[in-house]
Structure formats: C-alpha cells, structure tokens
Structure 1
Amino acid sequence: MLSLRGVSHSFGAVRALVDVDLDVHPREVVAVVGDNGAGKSTLVGVMAGTIVPDAGELVVDGQELGLTSPGLARQLGIATVFQDLALCDDLDVVENLYLGQELRRGGVLDEVAMEREAWRVMSRLGARVPSVRAPVATLSGGQRQTVAIARALLGVPRVLVLDEPTAALGVTQTAEVLTTIERVRDSGHGVVLVSHNMADVQAVADRVVVLRRGRLNGDFDAERASYEDIIAAITGVSPPRRRRAPGEDA
C-alpha cells in the first residue's frame, strides 16, 4: 500500500532514525517494536506528517513523495491514532467522530446522517458502546480507543497507524482493542502497530519490524519468528543457544 524509503531524522546530535525502510501491505498488521529511544515515536511522527524527516521519501502508487504535513498524510491515505487519542470527553461519540468534519444538509448539521454513519462504523468495528450519543467520558478505555480508531477510518485511509493502543488498558479492554485491529486488517487496510507489549504483538501481527537505536534491526514473519529472536534484535544480545540432548548430533 505504501513504502518508506531511506528515512532519517535527527534531533540535534541525536540520530533518531537512520536510513529506515518500511513496507505496508493490504490486509497486514505490521508491528514496530523496540526499546525506549529506538525511534518508534519518531517513525510515527514521520508517517503522521507531524515530523518532516531530514531525508527519505514515501512511495505511493510508484510515486516518490515527501511527507510535509498531517493534512498531506491524510490525503495520501495515512491515518494516525496517537497514544493520547485526542478525544473530547464532554462530547458524545458522534460529535467526536465528526469534530471538524461535520456533515451538513441545507446549511445545517445533518445529525441523522452522522448518527447513522456513526452506528455503522462502530458496528463494523464490533464496538460495544451503550449509545453513540453517550459522552466519551463515560466510556471504558477500550471503547475510547475504538472511537478514536473509528474517527480515523471515516476518511477511508489506506493505512492506519496506531501508537501504543493498549497502553494502560486492562485485560478485557486490551482484548477488545486487539479484536478491533483484526477487524480493520480484515477489511482491507494496512495497519502499523507501534507497541512495547510483545503479547499484543504476537496476538495480531503478521510481521514484526524491529528498530534499535534508530536503525532497522530485523524484519520478521510473526508466525515463524521466535520470541527469543525478536527480543535479541531489540536488545542486540544474541539468544542463548539451545543445549543439545545427550547423543544429539551437533
């Protein structure tokens, strides 16, 4: 669906990203993992258009483009849900979904159309909300995350970027969010999941990309790679060799 090529960015003397490549395919969850300071947040910012990289480009439909603003990222089909979600607690679900992009009919807000579409997109994600007219402040953490994802999907993006979507969530809420991610993938989108939680990564990822000190340090098939291999790529420490059983050939 899109590719990042040769992306580099520095904050003063700190090299946050160094010549990073990333491909995102349809119906795929690509997990981006790494230790603190590995460059994950910077990569999210680059894809969202909030950080303009020092070098590198985005390739969409064979065209090499520069990401220079969040608006351009949206136009190119990249929607990002940041960790803080940026929801308005005193507004209801419909108002949060359409904030700044309200539907109008005859010069007035088309409340019926917005409410109908809100129910449709929330149902598509399997969200369990009491009402789309419920204030967001009354929703659980998992429900709030789903509202943020639903808002990002309204523009029918190619790729959905999720920054630590299960941070600070309980077990039940985390399961709800992971199910939502699978539904987004199965609907044809590409998903970039930035996470430090390896259990979540192993639950939904098709591919795992490892960043270490700003550089790409591994690209693994999630089904074939072992937990030890991924951790070794994150830490830079080789996994311990399995001890052979007596009589086993070397």
Structure 2
Amino acid sequence: MSFENKTVGHTAPPPHLRVSGIHKRFGGVNALRGVDFEVARGEVMALVGDNGAGKSTLMKVLAGAHAANEGQFFIDEAPVNVTTPNDANGLGIQIVYQDLALCENLDVAANLSLGSEPVKSGWGFLPRLLRPLDDLEMEVKAKNAIDRLQVKTLQSVRAKVGGLSGGQRQAIAIARAVGADCSVVMLDEPTAALGVAQTRQVLDVVKRLRDTGHAVIYISHNMRDIFEVADRICVLRHGGNVATWRTEDTTPDEIVVAMTRGLDAGANNVV
C-alpha cells in the first residue's frame, strides 16, 4: 500500500524520513515485500505487527544494519542511500535496541559519550587514543542531553548505570541517541518489562522527543502505550503493509484485527 500525505478531513505533515518499495530477502525468505513507510518531524509513528510481520527487519534496514535488496530512501524528499550503519548515522538516524547496549560499570556521562569521548587540549603530541579524557566536557554534554529530555528522576550524571532503574536506563539510552544530533529516533519495545512508574517515565521522554522536533518510530506490542504516545500507527503483516491509521481515528481492537486478519479491520480511517 502506498502512502498519501492527506487524510479525510486532515492534512498529514510532510515526511522527514520516507522509504518506498523496500524488499529484504534472506535466502528464500521474503522478510519485507515492498514496504512503504514514513515519519515526520514532531511525530511519533508506531510500527506494529504480530511476530514475523517484518517490524524488526524494517527497523534494521532503516538503521543500515541490513541492506535492502530493493527500494528507495528519502530524507525531506531528497533521495539518499542507506546500506550501512554509518550511512544511517550520517543522516541522523539512531536506534535504541531493546537491550540498550549500556555499560553498567561506567557512569551516565561516560555512557553518553561512549565512542566519541572528548579529550583535553594541549596533548596533540600524543595519538588521540592516548590523550586524557576531558571529564568536565563529558559531564556538561551529558547534563545538556538529560536536560533536553527533562529526565527529572536522575540525580547525577556521575551515577553508575548499573545502579539505575530500568526506566532510567531507557532514558539514558534515548538521551545518548539524541546526543548524537539525530533527527530520527527508533525505539524497540522501550517499555518492555518495566513497572508502572518506570513506564510513565519512558513515555514522558518519548513525548519530549516529539516536542523537540524529532521523528520518532515506536515499536511495541503494548496497545495502551501506543495509544498514549503515537500520532499514527502503521501495521505490517507477513512482511507487507496493511494500512496506517491516525491514532484518534481507530481503536486497539481495530489495530489488533488488522495485525491478525489484515484489512478485515476496515480501511475507512486509514491514512
């Protein structure tokens, strides 16, 4: 199904990231079959589907972890190439995987600078890897990233990640992505296995991402969370598009039927 930029009685925002006709094959398995997908700045687009629907594969294609066999990528309607993670990073596309990939033995500031640690000036006679780290700049960068997302429950950026709650860790992983000056943030099941209070914290961070002009792709099986934060919901089934709904125009039951039976859910409210 192809996307249109208008809905009945509404005009959808212009897409920031758009892909068209994405195919991904693993041997004889067609994981994605001509998928179209888009997300705008200042929007949370939920990506849903049953197990094996193609959500994770599409996410990894968008992140450059898998190269698509066919299809086109666009940023602000300009064609771009995404075949590696470096391509995606260069275009401002960041992904926060479910396992978060945080180093529990390091503090928050070190985790937020991991891989791009600032070094002190005046040590140019040494290779960069041997220069002392600029702890003060690292701390300032971490505080700025945390403040942008208004993570109020974190007491200090010098706290060890291993001592943080699940919600705080998820917020730190999101802040690390935002700190990379990204415009697209993909979140893979960000509230899985979290308690009520921790889930509330993460959902507030997701809303803050939208309010700061990011394009947010939210992958989840939790319909309550989806209907709280998502502006639109894209349903995949058997590696292909079913439809996309404005959240205000649909119901959890309708989305579940679309996931399991396709367009039997009815398409009167689709984008």
The interval holding the TM-score normalised by the smaller chain is over 0.9
Q: Point out the more displaced range, 127-136 or 231-240.
A: 231-240
Counterpart pick for 2:45 among 4, 26, 30: 30
| Counterpart Cα distance in 1 of 2:70 and 2:225 | 31
Which letter does structure 2 place at the counterpart of 1:231?
V
How far did residue 126 of structure 1 move? 2.2
How far did residue 15 of structure 1 move? 1.3
Counterpart pick for 1:174 among 174, 195, 199: 199
| Counterpart Cα distance in 1 of 2:248 and 2:134 | 46
1:81-92 paired onto structure 2 within 5 Å: 81-92=96-107
Q: Is the partner of 2:249 in helix, strand or coil?
A: coil
Deviations 1:10-35 (A, max 9, x none): 22222111111111111000000000
- Confirm or deny: 8 A CA contact 2:255 2:265 kept in the other structure: no
Q: Point out the more displaced range, 218-227 or 231-240.
A: 231-240
Question: Which contiguous aligned blocks of 4+ residues in structure 1 show a shift greater than 6 angstroms?
Answer: none
| Residues matched between the structures, number | 240
Q: Which residue matches 1:126?
A: 150
If the length of structure 2 is used for normalisation, what is the TM-score? Answer: 0.85
How far did residue 239 of structure 1 move? 5.3
Which letter does structure 2 place at the counterpart of 1:232?
V
| Counterpart Cα distance in 2 of 1:124 and 1:64 | 30
If the length of structure 1 is used for normalisation, what is the TM-score? Answer: 0.92
| Counterpart Cα distance in 2 of 1:11 and 1:183 | 37
| Counterpart Cα distance in 1 of 2:32 and 2:251 | 26
Which letter does structure 1 place at the counterpart of 2:146?
M
Q: Which residue matches 1:164?
A: 189
| Counterpart Cα distance in 2 of 1:152 and 1:56 | 26
Question: What are the ranges of 5 or more consecutive residues in structure 1 without an aligned counterpart?
Answer: 241-250
Q: Point out the more displaced range, 117-126 or 35-44.
A: 117-126
Which letter does structure 2 place at the counterpart of 1:40?
K
Q: Is the partner of 1:228 in helix, strand or coil?
A: helix
How far did residue 116 of structure 1 move? 1.5
Which letter does structure 1 place at the counterpart of 2:145?
V
Counterpart pick for 2:114 among 84, 95, 99: 99
Deviations 1:166-219 (A, max 9, x none): 111111111100000000100010100011111110010000000001001010
| Counterpart Cα distance in 1 of 2:18 and 2:148 | 27
How far did residue 228 of structure 1 move? 2.2
2:27 matches 1:12: yes
- Confirm or deny: 8 A CA contact 2:23 2:71 kept in the other structure: yes
Deviations 1:52-93 (A, max 9, x none): 111112111333222111111010110110111000010100
Coordinate RMSD, CA, aligned: 1.4
Q: Is the partner of 1:104 in helix, strand or coil?
A: coil
Q: Is the partner of 1:182 in helix, strand or coil?
A: helix
Which letter does structure 2 place at the counterpart of 1:123?
D
